[in-house]
A and B are shown apart, each in its own frame.
Chain A
Amino acid sequence: MIRSRKNKIADIVLFVILAIGAIFILFPIAWMLSTALKSAPEVAMYPPKLLPEKLLFGNFAIAWGKAPFTRYTINTLIIVFFTIIGNVFVNSFVAYGFAKIDFAGKKLLFKVVLATMMIPGFVTLVPTYVIFSKLHWVDTYLPLIVPAFCGNAFHIFMMRQFYRTIPNELMEAARVDGAGHFYIWGRLMMPLVKPVMATVALISFKGAWSDFQGPLLYLSDKNKYTIQLGLQVFKGQGYTEWNYLMAVSFLSMIPILVLFFCFQNYFIEGMNVGGAVK
């Protein structure tokens, strides 16, 4: 009886702590939504109010119409789609090699791959731009998509750890039956590593969807702009249209939230590489 009461109190305390944490995390989103529903003078009002005097739902339509955001969304989806394809399949294949195939220099090569994570992106920004420029890829989506097909150290590492939790016997049995590595990877391993693939897909989606610097650097044609670049239309030299900026920012956040909630089980399983398939 006392134990059950203690458990109940512990549950309440836990609930309160989690609720406070959730409020802290959700407050910026609530503020974003509140700003999106205000008029410009109300946004500038000091002291600020969380609840708008009048809910201006029309701000969403006005903001969406201030630039070709539908086109920007389609452009972003094109980049996101191919980035996910590249990241999921290429990294999975490379990770399989590091996890399941023995070859000379494997450990050293893996360390080299991991070491690339230590190089700050800003250092390689200009040289990479020069390479893509010489390839005449500037103002196309290729500089934003092709790197996804060239491997990503973090994703390779994560997938390799997941592959290592899969018993080698499975692979060896297939080898006895005459299966090659490509077959084993594609037919045997892929179904088993779905959680980590979903995780990589989700991380890739978020990265490509929210990427600002890449599209900014490589795209000049407004018809090819992504949604993140499009948001800049609300920022002026001396004035920012905060309500519209927040309205489109809020809308642009929805796909990430929807995807996360749809795949959250896979995502959590994929991140928990230590407790994966045994």
Chain B
Amino acid sequence: MKKKGLALLIGAALMAASLAGCGGKNTDADDTAKADKTAGSDAGDSSAVSTPADNASDGDVVELEFWGWWSSEARKPHIESMVKGFNESQSKYHVTYVDIPFGDIFTKNIAQITAGKPCDIMANNMEEVRFRASQGQVEALDPFLTDDVKGAFYEQYLEACTGEDGSIYALPLSVDTRAIYYNKAHFEEAGINPEDIQTWADLEEAAIRLDQKNGDTWERIGFIPVLGNGGVDTWVINANSGYGWFDENFEPKVNTDVNKEAFRWIRAQIDRYGQTKYDELSAVFANGMQDPFASGVMSMLVQTSAYPSSLRQNAPDLDYGVIPLPEFKEGTGHVANGGGFVLEIPKGAKNPEGSYEFIKYVTSRETQDFLSTNIGDFSARNDFDDSTEFMSNPLNQDLAKCLSETSTLVLPNEVKGYETVINPFIDEGTLGLSKTDDALDKAQKALEDYVKNN
């Protein structure tokens, strides 16, 4: 009797959990139920997205799920508006936006592809499109692409979306670059014209003029090149006019004379403030909470083109501007490294044609202008010029100039993960544990071995 009672209790518990988990909806086997997942309803904006009832009567409506990671108030409402715009622009498909935490979204995506039930449209990083294509994780867009769509993007970004088999596997959603953000008040006080900073030597000179030290205490830091979003690779790519640790044939070129000179220069900038100060600031940026530039403690900082959204929150009154990364030597170019995000169709998606229709809509000029104006991201479209609302902002115009000299070097799959091989040696140089020349020599040897073994 007691046995039966316990079995009944466990059974009832499972049943209740199952019912609670389903929440009155069907499982993912029933596609129409997915429309219930409208994120807009959570935000209390029921009018923002079409309701399932709108489409329930239309048997031809295909439900599609779009995965991204934009859950903040600054982005999510605009993404939802964009999705709503697509849903209202046609009657064949109904897209639902699902936001999943950045980083973890990729694990979930892989699991779903393996299970054969992926989402329909996925935002992903641009740098690894080629890798995902080689692993069979994404659908080729070739059957749907037309010349006018292909011709609407800058070549370098479309190239990044192209697999080693020549097929296009994604379309660019947004792109970014790196620039130097400077504090206008500090520049004015030090009598520096930002346009005069054209070379690394100019940058160093400006940093020295901006520095302020009281006894042994640094009260203001002019510039440290490898803080914020700048790394040794940022400056090596700049010095090599777009190529970093590899040459144009993707042969390892870590310990070249140019790279050694560049790393020695970086080391000299760190040494001006001392290893302890650099370590302290490096830890501050690593924790992600404090921002010495927003606090007025640093006068210049390398950051991505997405940085203004952070400054709007952290330092709404800060008067700042941007300049491109200076040239290593006159004529080598103001090259910065950048990347971006793409939209792609995970392998096994149930309706690739519908997914593509959504991707085409999002990457259209009109939608890109809407996203840029409201979110602040840059578009990879080549017809995205000054006539757009977004580009009427002077800061965006300056960032766009940096974007025009941005390198989005996509390396072959054979060298994927090379950073884990060379970064420990590069860190030895920035942490002062070994001489920069020695660090690069060791990194060269390690990278050669890595390439050989792959």
Contact = CB atoms under 8 A, between A and B. Distances in A.
B283 to A, nearest CB: 11
Interface stretch (B35-43, B356-364, B410-418): B35-43
Given A146-B14, A234-B72, A40 B314 contact: yes
B379 to A, nearest CB: 16
Contacts of A186: 2, 6
A198 to B, nearest CB: 19
Given A40-B314, A45-B290, A236 B72 contact: yes
Contact of A216 (B70, B100, B290, B307): B100
A82 B25 CA distance: 20
B71 A238 contact: no
B239 interface: no
A173 to B, nearest CB: 19
Given A223-B23, A224-B23, A41 B314 contact: yes
A161 B15 CA distance: 32
B102 A235 contact: yes
B2 A78 contact: no
A175 interface: no
Nearest to B110: A126
A236 B37 contact: no
A27 to B, nearest CB: 14
A136 B116 CA distance: 12
Interface residues of B, number: 62
Interface in A195-253: 212-213, 216-217, 220-224, 229, 232-242
A240 B70 CA distance: 11
Contact of A145 (B17, B98, B115, B297): B17
Contacts of B37: 220-223
A52 to B, nearest CB: 14
A133 B98 CA distance: 18
A110 interface: no
Contacts of B208: none
A237 B70 contact: yes
Given A146-B14, A149-B10, A138 B75 contact: no
Contacts of A269: none
Given A41-B316, A221-B37, A239-B310, A216 B108 contact: yes
B292 interface: yes
B21 interface: yes
Given A134-B115, A220-B37, A236 B2 contact: no
Given A136-B28, A182-B2, A222-B42, A125 B107 contact: yes
Interface residues of A, number: 59
Interface string A245-266: 0000000000000000000000
A40 B314 CA distance: 6
B291 interface: yes
B27 interface: yes
B17 A222 contact: no
B344 to A, nearest CB: 18
A14 interface: no
A8 interface: no
Contacts of A145: 14, 17, 21
Identify which of A68, A129, A142, A220 gathers the most chain B CB atoms within 10 Å of its CB.
A220
Contacts of B315: 41, 44
A273 interface: no
Interface in B260-295: 284, 288-292, 294-295
A46 B284 contact: yes
Nearest to B70: A237
Nearest to A93: B6
Nearest to B25: A221
Contacts of B75: 236-237
Contacts of B39: 222
Contacts of B100: 216, 220
Contacts of B290: 43-48
A272 B70 CA distance: 46
A217 B102 CA distance: 13
A240 B114 contact: no
Contacts of A140: 18, 21-22, 27
B258 interface: no
Interface string A176-201: 00000011001000000000000000
B221 to A, nearest CB: 10
B77 to A, nearest CB: 12
A151 to B, nearest CB: 14
Contacts of A183: 2
A90 to B, nearest CB: 8
B313 interface: yes
Nearest to A234: B72
A236 to B, nearest CB: 3
Interface of B: 2-3, 6, 10, 13-14, 16-18, 20-23, 25, 27-29, 36-37, 39, 42, 65, 69-75, 98-102, 104, 107-108, 110-112, 114-117, 284, 288-292, 294-295, 297, 304, 306-307, 309-310, 313-316
Given A126-B114, A141-B17, A220-B28, 10 more contacts: A41-B294, A44-B315, A46-B292, A126-B110, A138-B28, A141-B21, A144-B21, A145-B21, A217-B111, A229-B101
26 contacts: A44-B295, A46-B291, A48-B289, A79-B17, A82-B17, A125-B107, A126-B114, A129-B114, A130-B114, A133-B117, A140-B18, A145-B14, A145-B17, A146-B14, A149-B10, A182-B2, A182-B3, A216-B104, A220-B28, A232-B99, A234-B72, A235-B102, A236-B70, A237-B75, A237-B309, A238-B309
Shortest beta-carbon contacts, A-B, top 6: A141-B21, A236-B72, A140-B21, A44-B314, A133-B115, A238-B306
